[in-house]
Structure 1
Amino acid sequence: MPRGDKSKYTDKQVRKAEHIEGSYEQRGVPEKEAERRAWATVNKDDKGGKKPGGSGRGKSTGHSASHRGVEIGGRASASRTPAERSASARKAAATRRKKA
């Protein structure tokens, strides 16, 4: 099987990669780079390509890579003082009022 062949991936993994690729393209990432990142994410989440039925019916694929950003954001927020968080919330509210 040549490198880059996607025949070992399930339909769900292909859909997942397409969705991730689209998200990257919306953020301005070039098409080839978006595709590369999308398949890298699917591989990280699912530990490579699988044939349908090989890992049991209805088994969850997990979402380890997609949850990394949440963990990072939580750490950053927890390190701020209550006064800093409150000031940020006031600033955001003022911006929303101004743009409304």
Structure 2
Amino acid sequence: RPLSRDHSLVARLVETGIIRQEDAENHPQKHVLTAALGVADEIEPDVPAEPLSLEKSDVVLICTDGLWGQLTEAELKENFAFPNYSFFLCKLLRRNGI
């Protein structure tokens, strides 16, 4: 499950009800960002309000929409089953032309 919110213009349009989620996937401005680290002197990063409680078998994936936007949640979960999951995720991205 995502721990932070999507900082794209299209996500904001969906949140405010201007467009539907179904329209967001093919929106021409889906990659326009409303916030990003390093583009302003001060930015408030998203952090969970409560500490994240992890179990030994949990996996935390830090990535951009270049990964999670191209693969389904099922594909991501399936690849974490492999000991060298980063290799398999890269292979899957290459197969998808990313």
For the pair shown, the structure with the greater C-alpha radius of gyration is 1
Give the shorter-chain TM-score range: under 0.3
How does the TM-score come out when normalised to structure 1? 0.22
Relative contact order (alpha carbons < 8 A, sep ≥ 6): 1 or 2 greater? 1
TM-score w.r.t. structure 2 length?
A: 0.22
